[in-house]
Structure 1
């Protein structure tokens, strides 16, 4: 059987390390409206289970346990939250110029209300709300931070719709 390997892969999930699993689950479920599909649980370093062995494969030997929770967006994208007891608990350094994950993005047509809620829960608005096509189309965006310092972006419209019109050429 010949399968086509040249097709766009779908996005499954993103993993975020947070300082406090319960505070993160509260923020992401109450502010972002994401579904909690697995309540916080503790994973211990052991080789007797598939999850224990897989975590040793991923994290190495220098850990004993961590907390994990799973959430889902309205379109089925997974949010995997990790909290390690001996990890750095301060906000990550914002370094968009270096190789690595810069941000992720969510979509909400009511950008103003979502930003107000993010700020009310201890997050930050990093910039004014900007319009891609002022007076032409209602496409807006803004960078924000969650209460843990993780940077993300909010769009009012889909990524495809926003950029298919040539947002940078106007």
Structure 2
């Protein structure tokens, strides 16, 4: 058995259509299909609770799969009949952000902000073992509050001197 890569990321959003529009505009994602279209009844009850580990009153009302241009899919979920917390921030336990490798950080940041995200700072140099003259990153918040990191590391990184294993990127 071997893990071959990330197939998709599941993301719960308040509005599947608005989140889809953001992902298309910001990252060039493409809508592939709806597993649970808006014209179908919600899914809930014991089957949903046992499959996803959600509260008993939670109902899935929309599920949509998108694909990034050179990466994994993003599966969007929307629920109703359940109290939801605010989106996780990096200090919370659990998966804290999605990191996307980009070739042109400045152009991508401009596109993402124009699509509705908020940059948390200006792009910064990658630190320590990831450093390099053109190696940089920046965090943004999506319109619904999730955290995304944009990063690029076209230059060799110091960690590469100590191991033959390399980080994966497209």
Q: Is the 8 A contact 2:96 2:147 kept in 1?
A: yes
- The SS at the match of 1:31 is helix
State which of 94, 97, 105 in structure 2 corresponds to 1:100: 94
Unaligned stretches of 5+ residues in structure 2: 162-170
TM-score, scaled relative to structure 1? 0.73
Q: Look up the match of 2:42.
A: 44
TM-score, scaled relative to structure 2? 0.73
- The SS at the match of 1:84 is strand
State which of 87, 105, 121 in structure 2 corresponds to 1:111: 105
Q: Is the 8 A contact 2:58 2:80 kept in 1?
A: no
**CA-based RMSD:** 3.2
Separation of aligned partners in 2, 1:8 and 1:64: 31
The number of residues matched between the two structures is: 154
Unaligned stretches of 5+ residues in structure 1: none
After superposing the two structures, state which structure 1 stretch, 64-73 or 27-36, moved more: 64-73
State which of 141, 144, 152 in structure 1 corresponds to 2:148: 152
- The SS at the match of 1:38 is strand
Q: Look up the match of 1:22.
A: 17
- The SS at the match of 1:97 is coil
Q: 1:67 to 1:34 in 2, by over 3 A?
A: same
